[in-house]
Structures are given as structure tokens and as C-alpha cells.
Amino acid sequence: ATYADLELVKYLCSCNKKFSVCRLYLCKYCLQLRCTDCCQSEVDTPYCPHCLENMPSGEAKLKKNRCNSCFDCPVCGHTLVTRSTSHTSPSPDDPTKTIAKKMYYLACGFCRWTTRDVGLPDQSVATGSWPCMQNPHEQRISSLLENYKVMAQIEKAEHERKKYVTRRSNLYRQDKYGGSVAGLRRKGMSTFSSMSSTDSKVPGDLEPSVTVDSFEPLPNEFFTEPAALVKTTKLAHRHSVPEFQPTEISKLHPIRKHLLMRKSLRCKECEHNVSKGDFNINSIKFKIQLTAQ
């Protein structure tokens, strides 16, 4: 919100929509007014909002858009702070002597939650050494993604092949999911020579999902003992970690902080940038800012 963010006077964009002057851009290549609907948003730089570490988009995708050094409290959502403490251990050379060693743990300054509450051991390094929980469904999800990628390649190759095929035939429809290729392999026959290497890939045999028909009965303690609501997680706690969804407070682990994205705007007509931030995350200046003011 600026002094120009006034709805009293609106300007007509090239797409026949009316906006205030602070929400319009002027493309110097097209010489036309552009609004946010006329521009295409692109991810410029992923960065951590706490430590301001930026990384390439490919690296951020491998890390699942999470920071490797900063953590959020699983109870209240505030940023965890690294605290140090000294541990004494006997010297390996002389058992009668003790050696003080600095250890680190994570603590929340708002709700006083610490990693010691859930039994996480202290680490000898302040950053980059905290253990990560493994998703039990990671292998299943990876196999499904690989299967869908193969199916997408087959459909793309079929779409490209239809551009050059003039005769109508059901042969390519039957081979959409590799049925004819699998049948020819069972008969010991070779596939069509005109098919490319990407077309000959057949999706792997996935284990189908099993419908659960029966459930285990609840234990007797569920009805006889009083409910410990203080030790039970809330719905917001489970939604914050959807791959695990812990049911007890004692099973909560630190959550890696989500990365934020600094975006840039590009004109849809000439594909030139109309707004692009500076490479330095600490800077609030723009490298390209073609506003209509």
C-alpha cells in the first residue's frame, strides 16, 4: 500500500480491465499497460525467511522446498533457537579426568518446547546434523511417480505420431498403455521398427491398493482410562506434518522451515521482464521495475 494505492482513479489496461496506477506496469517493448493478469509470474529465487539463504530452484526441489538449517516449533509454529550446553565425559587417555564438550539442542522461546522433550539426543554440531524422519510411504509414492512419467511419455509420443499418421486405425489406441507391446513380448515377437525407444517403454507392474474391510478393535484402556487430552495432538499439528500425522505430543519432531519464493513478472506478449527483484535477498531494490507511475 502506497500513496498511489487509491481506488478513486482507475486506468484501463490493455486487457480492458481497470486498475489503480500502482497495480499497472508499462512494458517498454510493447508500449502497452500490463496488469497482473497480462503478466506471467515466475519463480525467481527460493530463499529461507529466517536465515535468508537462497538456493537454485533445482536444489530447492531436491530439498522439498525446506531449509536445511532452520526449524519451526511443532507445537506453536515459532522458529526454534539453537542453545548450547556442556557435557562432561571421561577422558579416553585418563579415566580419572573429565572433558567438557559443548552440545546443542533446539528450544522454542515462546512455548518452551525443546528437542529433549521428545527424546532427541543433543548434537555436537549446531546446524546440519539434526535427524530427519523417513516417510514410510516414500517408496510407494516414488514408484507411482515413475509409472506416471512413463505413461506421460507414451501419451506424448502417441500425440506426436498422430500428426504424421493419415490412416485411421485402432492399432495405436491399443498400444496406448503398452498392451500390444506386452502381448508381442509374450509371443516372442519383436515390436514395430517404426516405434521409438520412448514408445517401447511399458509401465511397470504396480501393486494395487488393498481395500481395508476390517479394523482392529479398540483396547479396553480406551474406555476405562480417562482421556489424556493434554498429551493428544490437535488437528493443526497433524496437518503441519501430513506424511506422519502424529497423534501424541511426545511424537512431535522439529519441522524444517518452508522456503519462500521471490517471483518475477514477465509480459505474456513479448516475454520480457517487467518486474524482477535484486539477486541479493537482503536488498529491497528491484533490478527491473517498469511501473506505470
pLDDT of residue 194: 42
CA angle, 110 then 71 then 60, to 5°: 150
Number of CB atoms found within 10 A of residue 259's CB: 20
Question: Does 176 lie in the same domain as 155?
Answer: yes
How far from 261 is each of 24, 42, 59, 96, 172, CA to CA, in Å? 21, 9, 13, 55, 43
Dig out the grid coordinates for 79 from the structure. 522458529
As a whole number, mean pLDDT of residues 153-173 equals 72
More confident residue, 175 or 151: 151
* Residue 143: inside a domain: yes
Question: Does 263 lie in the same domain as 250?
Answer: no
Pairing of strands 255-258, 260-267: unpaired
State how far the Cα of 39 lies from the Cα of 273, in Å rounded to an integer: 9
pLDDT of residue 113: 92
* Residue 291: inside a domain: yes
Say whether 251 sits in a helix, a strand or coil: helix
Question: Does 293 lie in the same domain as 243?
Answer: no
* Residue 102: inside a domain: no
pLDDT of residue 191: 44
Q: Which residues pair with 88 in a beta bridge?
A: 100
* Residue 100: inside a domain: no
Question: Does 55 lie in the same domain as 3?
Answer: yes
State how far the Cα of 36 lies from the Cα of 42, in Å rounded to an integer: 12
Q: Give the residue from 28, 1, 3, 30 showing the smallest Cα distance to 14.
A: 30
Q: Which residues contact 54 (CB under 8 A, 6 or more apart)?
A: 45, 46, 47, 48, 281
State how far the Cα of 264 lies from the Cα of 281, in Å rounded to an integer: 13
Handedness of CA 130, 132, 68, 257 (dihedral sign): negative
More confident residue, 262 or 187: 262
CB 158 within 8 A of CB 172: yes
The amino acid present at 103, given as its one-letter code, is: M
Share the mean pLDDT of the chain.
Answer: 81
Say whether 59 sits in a helix, a strand or coil: helix
Q: Give the residue from 21, 16, 18, 15 showing the smallest Cα distance to 2.
A: 21
Question: Does 50 lie in the same domain as 13?
Answer: yes
Domain limits for position 244 = 227-254
State how far the Cα of 101 lies from the Cα of 121, in Å rounded to an integer: 14
| Of the residues 186, 217, 243, the one at which a domain ends | 186
Question: Does 46 lie in the same domain as 3?
Answer: yes
Question: Does 61 lie in the same domain as 6?
Answer: yes
State how far the Cα of 278 lies from the Cα of 286, in Å rounded to an integer: 5
Dig out the grid coordinates for 96 from the structure. 580419572
Q: Residue 196 — very low, low, confident or very high, per pLDDT cuts 50/70/90? A: very low
DSSP string covering 24-50: -EEETTTTEEE-TTTEEEEEEEEE-TT
pLDDT of residue 204: 59
- List pLDDT tens digits, range 21-71: 888 888 888 888 988 888 999 888 899 999 998 888 889 988 889 998 899
* Residue 40: inside a domain: yes
The conformation of residue 225, written as its DSSP 8-state character, comes to S
CB 75 within 8 A of CB 113: yes
- List pLDDT tens digits, range 64-121: 899 988 999 999 999 999 999 888 877 777 777 788 888 899 999 999 999 999 888 8
* Residue 175: inside a domain: yes
Q: Which residues pair with 248 in a beta bridge?
A: 232
* Residue 95: inside a domain: no
The conformation of residue 278, written as its DSSP 8-state character, comes to -
Question: Domain count of the chain?
Answer: 3
CB 36 within 8 A of CB 14: no
Question: Does 29 lie in the same domain as 12?
Answer: yes
For residue 202, give the H/E element and its range.
none
Question: Does 291 lie in the same domain as 269?
Answer: yes
